[in-house]
């Protein structure tokens, strides 16, 4: 039996209009005014609400062995939190360490999600070592529909690749037409600065940022761009956090390097003074790249408005307070990460659209459409179009609330955004036409999420950045 969503205001990356949407067999089959529908059709009234395409979080960690522990979410918890927050597709970083076999890692990550996710999901395949066997395995993984790689220029000896391996990864990516996402920080500088700070007795979380200063990120960004330019591969910088790195990316793009930029939720709203707070408060706010000087926030917001920052992800990475305390007395041992998969849409809407200068169309573009295009999901995802998946967010702009760990659904005992007001939230969320969230509550089915076999996207197969 079909589903009709009546009288909402449809907002896509380029359009804004009032219409009904009719959904059958997981896809949108009709869009129009006052649609006639069969008796018995389920009706959702979206009067005075926005109807957005399901949001895509292109950067999350769910299963993650890292810094001697494991991130806390499972697909059951993370996907429900994502859906309540309006995110209907997740792209997780599949991150076996350098010591592990890539294909075994890939199968392991897939098994953590299969039949456990309430929303759709896919992976960026981390390349943490490059040799002949890994290369063969990467070809298989791309054939399986995982059409993007991830490299880390930091986290030496664990996830990190050296310049030779980066070069080989980019050559393979160019050949296969896949896009390479990259964590850009200079590993050598980070480890030298960490050791020096510790030797000076500077051990608290407030020293995390000085151990990975903006220059270190700008160097990684510049180097990645140079390697893209040399190989002709397409790249995507993850979690770009500061003005000097942005400048390096924008300059590279201006000379024709195929490069896209993501910034993540914490860097828009939190600054390094959060990590300077006393006790466990400081530990909560340690992630990499670190929270920066507040002056960077205005830079990121305006870059997002212009499209110099293409997408907003979360880098969702939930460690709990006990885990964060592993780094009490030595900031290099604090598990890096801030959870946020539930909060991205509401916070960017509130502080970007409602209280800032971000247009509704660009909001949809940055949180859904552009990721769909870059990662081979468009127009199945990221659009509201006949024939596309009925992943829809019916968003109530009248809702008022406050973010708190007491009410969130992530498997985590703190929120990095505790006390932040939100103006608006999803009231109904569908995944391929199934109502998973109603009145802001998960009412749907666990395990219906599907693995996203993705196309090779146009960005990777030649087309330069367009916006």
How many residues touch Zn ion under the rule CB under 5 A: the total is 3
Does residue 185 touch Zn ion according to CB under 5 A? no
CA angle 245, 250, 253 (to 5 degrees): 125
**Structure tokens given for 279:** 């006790």
Task: Count Cβ atoms below 10 Å from residue 25 Cβ, excluding itself.
Answer: 9
How many whole angstroms from its chain centre is CA 155?
20
Does residue 79 touch ligand DUC according to CB under 6 A? no
Q: Which does 204 bind (CB under 5 to 8 A by kind): Zn ion, ligand DUC, none?
A: none
**What's the rounded Cα separation, in Å, for the pair 201 and 451?**
47
The answer to whether the CB of 447 falls within 8 A of the CB of 134 is: no
What is the smallest separation between the CB atom of 96 and ligand DUC, expressed in angstroms? 14
Q: Which does 337 bind (CB under 5 to 8 A by kind): Zn ion, ligand DUC, none?
A: ligand DUC
The answer to whether the CB of 4 falls within 8 A of the CB of 20 is: yes
Which of 137, 148, 169, 336 binds ligand DUC (CB under 6 A)? It is 336
Sign of CA dihedral 165, 158, 457, 112: positive
- Nearest one of 355, 344, 227, 205 to 284, comparing CA atoms: 205
Strand partners, 259: 235
Q: Residue 336 or residue 430: which is nearer to ligand DUC going by CB?
A: 336
Site for Zn ion in 8-47 (CB under 5 A): 9
Which of 213, 337, 382, 449 binds ligand DUC (CB under 6 A)? It is 337
Q: Helix (H, G, I), strand (E, B), or coil: what is residue 80?
A: helix
Which of 209, 315, 320, 342 binds Zn ion (CB under 5 A)? It is 315
Q: Residue 209 or residue 315: which is nearer to ligand DUC going by CB?
A: 315
Task: Count Cβ atoms below 10 Å from residue 33 Cβ, excluding itself.
Answer: 9
Quick note: the x/- pattern for Zn ion over 206-245, rule CB under 5 A, is ----------------------------------------
**Structure tokens given for 388:** 């596309």
Q: Residue 9 or residue 310: which is nearer to Zn ion going by CB?
A: 9
Does residue 315 touch ligand DUC according to CB under 6 A? yes
The answer to whether the CB of 309 falls within 8 A of the CB of 261 is: yes
Q: Which does 9 bind (CB under 5 to 8 A by kind): ligand DUC, Zn ion, none?
A: Zn ion
Q: Residue 327 or residue 444: which is nearer to Zn ion going by CB?
A: 327
- Residues engaged in binding ligand DUC (CB under 6 A): 61, 183, 287-288, 315, 317, 336-337
- Residues engaged in binding Zn ion (CB under 5 A): 9, 183, 315
């Amino acid at each position: 039996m079909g589903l009709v969503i009546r009288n909402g205001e449809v907002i896509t990356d380029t359009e804004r209009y009032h219409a009904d949407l009719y959904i059958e067999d997981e896809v949108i089959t009709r869009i129009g005014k006052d649609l006639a529908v069969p008796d018995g059709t389920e009706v959702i009234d979206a009067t005075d609400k926005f109807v957005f395409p399901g949001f895509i979080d292109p950067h999350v960690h769910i299963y993650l062995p890292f810094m001697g522990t494991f991130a806390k979410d499972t697909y059951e918890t993370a996907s429900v939190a994502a859906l309540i927050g309006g995110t209907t597709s997740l792209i997780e970083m599949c991150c076996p360490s350098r010591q592990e076999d890539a294909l075994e890692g890939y199968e392991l990550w897939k098994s953590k999600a299969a039949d456990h996710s309430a929303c759709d999901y896919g992976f960026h395949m981390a390349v943490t070592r490059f040799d002949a066997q890994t290369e063969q395995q990467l070809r298989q993984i791309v054939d399986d529909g995982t059409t993007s790689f991830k490299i880390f220029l930091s986290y030496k000896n664990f996830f990190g690749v050296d310049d030779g391996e980066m070069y080989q990864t980019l050559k393979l990516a160019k050949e296969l037409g896949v896009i390479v996402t990259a964590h850009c920080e200079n590993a050598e500088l980070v480890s030298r600065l960490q050791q020096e700070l510790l030797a000076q007795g500077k051990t608290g979380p407030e020293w995390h940022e000085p151990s990975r200063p903006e220059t270190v990120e700008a160097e990684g960004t510049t180097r990645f761009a140079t390697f893209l330019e040399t190989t002709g591969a397409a790249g995507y910088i993850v979690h770009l956090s500061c003005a000097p790195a942005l400048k390096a990316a924008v300059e590279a793009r201006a000379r024709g390097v195929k490069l896209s930029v993501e910034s993540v939720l914490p860097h828009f709203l939190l600054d390094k003074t959060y990590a300077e707070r006393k006790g466990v408060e400081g530990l909560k706010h340690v992630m990499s790249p670190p929270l920066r000087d507040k002056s960077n926030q205005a830079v990121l917001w305006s870059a997002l408005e212009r499209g110099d920052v293409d997408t907003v992800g979360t880098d969702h990475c939930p460690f709990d307070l006990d885990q964060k305390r592993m780094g009490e007395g030595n900031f290099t041992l604090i598990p890096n990460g801030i959870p946020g998969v539930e909060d991205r849409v509401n916070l960017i809407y509130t502080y970007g659209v409602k209280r800032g200068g971000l247009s509704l169309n660009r909001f949809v573009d940055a949180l859904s459409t552009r990721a769909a295009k870059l990662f081979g999901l468009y127009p199945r995802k990221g659009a509201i179009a006949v024939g596309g998946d009925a992943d829809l967010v019916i968003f109530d702009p009248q809702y008022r609330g406050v973010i708190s760990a007491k009410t969130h659904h992530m498997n985590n005992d703190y929120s990095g955004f505790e006390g932040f007001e939100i103006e608006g939230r999803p009231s109904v969320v569908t995944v391929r036409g199934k109502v998973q969230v109603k009145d802001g509550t998960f009412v749907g089915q666990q395990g219906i999420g599907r693995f996203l076999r993705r196309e090779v996207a146009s960005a990777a197969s030649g087309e330069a950045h367009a916006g």
